[in-house]
Amino acid sequence: MYLEMFNLKGRTAVVTGGGQGIGFACAQALGEAGAKVVVAELLADRVEKAVAELKALGVDAYGAELDVTDSKAVADLAAKVAADHGGASILVNNAGIAFSDVKAEDTSDEHWAKHFRVNVDGVFYCCREFGKLMLAAGKGSVVNIGSMSGFIVNKPQPQSFYNASKAAVHHLTKSLACEWGARGVRVNSVAPTYIETPLTLFGAQNQEMLKTWLDMTPMGRMGQPHEIASTVLFLASDASSLLTGSIIAADGGYTCW
């Protein structure tokens, strides 16, 4: 009974920014559990490469070039997924950016806006458009990739724009969970610690910064993409049927100190 709750056969999942890092691991996890997976990613060649890799792993994978900040493109993709696959009952809002280590007083309008465009507007557009499909079907699970930065302020790198954007993702998650909870659509978030992906290279390659990161983490290490993907799989599946509006910290204990 319990293992069956993780079975995603017959479901379609859309993963934004699924071409690398955490998103790719999520696509693999959901695909291994039986879902059809649509990798929606900014760059065409990365889409192609990810889909080929997923197929080689036995995943029923499809690709779509998508910029999540383009609300029309998001609506068009939702319409295409509805036409091609009969809808999507899983959405992983993973696409996000973090051009960190910029002091608040030096943050330009463009830098601030860019982070909110991708990390907040993009998440909302995808929730709205794929949420419509889920509400019409009376079922669905949305998993937003937030961050421990939505709870705490990272040290030593200044990144007010990123922290604020991820706090917004967490509260959007709770707001949509309340609006859609009685209509069969669950909305949850995962709040990761530092995960080894291209996004954290700037710190992982800086010995002093890396030492601070690890010293502040009870488990004393960075995480791996698959450790977030397994949490996403739980939230996407029926194994988490009573969870909505939850922000799960997958953070090696970082937010305990």
Binding site for ligand NDP (CB under 6 A): 16-17, 19-23, 41-43, 46, 66-69, 94-98, 118, 122, 145, 147, 192, 194-195, 197-200
Of 97 and 243, the one with the shorter C-beta distance to ligand NDP is 97
Of 70 and 135, the one with the shorter C-beta distance to ligand NDP is 70
Tokens 């997923």 map to which residue? 54
| Minimum distance, C-beta of residue 153 to ligand NDP, in the bound complex (Å) | 14
| Minimum distance, C-beta of residue 1 to ligand NDP, in the bound complex (Å) | 32
CA atoms within 13 A of residue 126's CA, in its CB half-sphere = 35
Tokens 């900040």 map to which residue? 69
Q: How far apart are the first and last CA of the chain?
A: 37
Catalytic center residues: 162
Of 200 and 240, the one with the shorter C-beta distance to ligand NDP is 200
Cα separation, 23 vs 126, in Å, equals 15
Q: Which amino acid is at 90?
A: I
List CB contacts of 123: < 8 A, sequence separation 6 or more. 68, 93, 144, 169, 172
Supply 193's token pair: 């610690």
| Minimum distance, C-beta of residue 46 to ligand NDP, in the bound complex (Å) | 6
Supply 217's token pair: 């983490």
The H or E element containing residue 81 is helix 71-85
Alpha helices in 100-250 (DSSP H): 109-116, 122-137, 160-180, 201-204, 207-215, 225-236
Of 66 and 88, the one with the shorter C-beta distance to ligand NDP is 66
| Minimum distance, C-beta of residue 57 to ligand NDP, in the bound complex (Å) | 18
| Minimum distance, C-beta of residue 133 to ligand NDP, in the bound complex (Å) | 19
Q: Which residue is nearest to ligand NDP, using beta carbons?
A: 96
Of 42 and 75, the one with the shorter C-beta distance to ligand NDP is 42
Cα separation, 85 vs 46, in Å, equals 22
Cα separation, 241 vs 207, in Å, equals 42
